[in-house]
Structure 1
């Protein structure tokens, strides 16, 4: 009987997809596996409920070893519960899709759906341009010698048409959220919650602390902004986000923004894909081309969004009397505490940033580096940028013009800038 893990099955199927013998490999794995192996195969192939991310493969009941049964305790929002018969179930209405239950499940009962294998035919066919959109947290994740240019080359070897740094669109969102702050915070009693980056944070506000929804800045995340930006410039393109986050898979499926991103991969999955296809990013040629600012690059770590928007506001509205006074929540526990304070009218700042993972995106469940190392790479990459803010970055301003946005002020309500707007 096969004892292949879910990740091992995914790696084998990726390799078979590129070698052109996928069905043969599926048959071979199934012939030596059990009923759970068949389920693993289905989710590794990207099948299952198209609107779900987390799937339960094995049934856990009262007979499970309590020491191994740790997903309930890991969930801070009571989404993982036991039904009347003692079986573990996930309540979608409470789930923030953070993936913590998957990471802590020592019984291999929970998995997240893989979305790569359905793309392989497109990547090999070259008829449809498929763009890789890499999260700012990716710098350093594949080794200190792997530059963004080498990563771009490695992704092209996989079949991607091109790679775009999401940091470029984080720059755009810094401009937009700085303008939103200027518009909505006039007195010491006003405050906003950033909607950038973290889908766990946004989901918490919408599902649990919904009275605070009117204070959310009406902007899409950089991932969504990037996907929509690419599709405006390349209408036939497919977009694939690559980051450290399971929750981004759920964000990409939300009804009002599902037009932006066609698939989501994690850093861990990309590492498996490189290994399965014998691609070594460190040995690739360096083909740099992007020019994101410091502001966009530091979105990947806690406090980065606050600093980016504050620096951008000071640059474009230097005379604004009310400056950004920010508080950051680092991890779900701190997010809950901060939002609870706001619900009780305990207002200590005018700009609130929440990151569902400790350390920010660099602390995501599918990051390849420890938080401190990931943070150091992000800070160093930010310091290397030629422009400190998007307002100083002619490349970003040129990008806005390519998207039909003639002035920064149009980001507040211009028709062409509606792709960056979200109604919470």
Structure 2
């Protein structure tokens, strides 16, 4: 029979049609089903059959917050849990493709009942590769399944293993645009011909709202946003602007498009962004867009109520819609970005708890990362805290073949020219094959 599916990744509808072959779990409160792999931090994986599960919509806000570095109990004791027990659906991992490793989200492992314990590395995992991976063109498309022997997690506190991992290049979580970034960087949004058709006839009224802050000179019927300000007795901010929190079902991408149009077409707008972005003039533009797009639907509602239809009624209904609607994807989580952020926070944390493994150990004994990528550029400040360092932590410890043995004491951050060290490692890599972990 059909079952209701409503996952935080955005999959919604009949579970038989939208589950996508993934393992699922039912919320004990709302009884909707979700992907196990979409739950934050793998929290729905390997649950006891009698354990309760509550989806994000039914959980408390406190349970949704991921643990921060400061909230974890500090310890310098290394974990001894086997890697295969740490790989669980919903968590991030690194997968080997060629000689480099890239981030993936673990979806599910396949039935391994027939495999002996000695063959655990042959267990196959369904994975989703991070969309920001920059694979070498020679490798082609990455596989959807990966053997467990080609997977590692963040290798927390495992200095030796991290040194053997050469990372492929990808766009870091901290460099990946969020929804709020789209609005702040609205000038990078696409130009829309539709907005010209909708808003150009209203240039004069939009400019008037921008230049004339005296609300009493406007007619409330022509400007529903002003009627709202007067009724709610809102006060202007320090620059004389009125902040309005409504954008209806206009998505962040659409918001940015309208903001760009406003900046480029309303005289004087480009130099007064603080007066209209998120404020009264732009929200009136939203009202005009909604009125245009939903005019036929609004008209049918009015006819059904036997009321008079006119432009004033159209704007009033558009404003009401703007206040109560929300984007269809407003509650959809970017589960891949969320997963990468958690993975990278553990990969690159440099703290007492992380120990020497946190001090830029990735690939030190294996060679250059893909295209000599510096993986540590831009790491968030909150992932780094003061601790005592040892000069030996950045030594290249793998024995170099002659005639490079005299450089064994060189360290990456030593006074020796970095170009010389790079050349040494490059020449070494030409005659050394790197065994799999």
Same fold (TM over 0.5): no
> What's the TM-score bracket when you normalise by the shorter of the two chains?
under 0.3
TM-score (structure 1 length as normaliser):
0.20
Higher helix share: 1
Higher relative contact order (CA 8 A, sep 6+): 1
